[in-house]
Amino acid sequence: MRVINVVGARPNFMKIAPIMREMQKHGGFDPVLLHTGQHYDDAMSQVFFEDLKIPKPDINLGVGSGTHAQQTAKIMVEFEKILADMRPDLVLVVGDVNSTLACSVVAAKMLVPVAHVEAGLRSFDRTMPEEINRLVTDALSTLLFTTSRDANENLLREGHTPEQIYFVGNVMIDTLLAFAKQAEHSDVLERLHLDSKRYAVLTLHRPGNVDNPSTLSRILNALENLQRHIPIVFPAHPRTSDRFRQFGLSERVASMRNMKVIEPLGYLDFIKLTAHAKLVLTDSGGLQEETTVLGIPCLTLRDNTERPITITEGTNTLVGTNPAVIVSEALKVLNGHGKHGRTPELWDGRAAERIIEILARWNPSQLSTAQAA
């Protein structure tokens, strides 16, 4: 079975790595790795291929940056040529980035079945670009692989049939568990002069947080207060660094003596940094999941999450962008009252294995014929 596996941005790489490994081990697949180039620099792309031992992409579309429309359109134009030439049995997409949406639309229009890994996640907030990507991708997908049972329920409510939906667990956690021991060998704490459990980690990149000057300023108000209580390590996303400059906030950020702003880290360094943190503040979806498995209290700087299981079962707490709430919840953690959670069902490191077992039993020729009819 020829499968084009699509990656485009940093969150995708951790998800595709175990799937590619299982396909190569199985022997019944001809896996093709396609990188759209949505994230294209070393800090956001190349270092992840190296850390996760992902093979060099068979195809790189090299689309680069742009607005959502520009980026999606470039990917669609280039991906259409690839599908016309290769005619795969299946296109497999992961997550909710623009590459996921773009390749799903092209594949569906060319009658190539789509499998979506991490299907059914919903924030119910359509102001988030990722929510639009999730909804459209799921609507066009033939096979829907979910990380949690609430995702199954979302898909059933939206009219998908039970035969399409497979609860397999979380491929992001496959990668975390596979590389956790190796990550412990990272010297990132020494390089940054940090002591285990005596610092917080911050990530910030969602458009709703960083593209709005007033929202970003409110978050900085909280950080100004919090960094007086604990050092904060902030691997800054390029988008966020650009907004600091654009909104005239760079000097304000630099004046926070106890907040260490650094370049984005590779996967192994970042996992080590996260695993030894006292607290994580983030607007990232994947980090909500990783902190849950690592047992690290996580404060999510958003009013909603598409990963509610990290709240109901994990270590995650939604705090929004109100400075008083952020600081209050952070101080609870620092005073020893952080949230304790448990690892959700099937987040056991074998999700990719289950996906490949299902794909190996699936008959694409029957489905393609039915779709064409």
As annotated, the active-site residues are: 205
Per DSSP bridges, beta strands 232-235 and 59-60 are unpaired
Phi, psi (rounded to 5 degrees) for 370: -65, -40
Q: Residue 109: which H helix or E strand, with range?
A: helix 98-109
Strand order in the sheet with 143-146: 59-60, 30-35, 2-7, 90-94, 114-117, 143-146, 165-167
Give the helix/strand (H/E) hosting 69: helix 68-86
**DSSP result, 317-350:** EE-TT-HHHHHHHHHHHHTT------PPTT-SS-
User: 271 is written with which tokens?
Assistant: 């996992």
Q: Which amino acid is at 88?
A: P
CA 82 – CA 37 distance, rounded (Å)? 14
Reduced to 3 states, what is the DSSP secondary structure of residue 115? Answer: strand
Give 114's strand partners: 91
Alpha-carbon gap, residue 105 to 220, rounded angstroms:
38
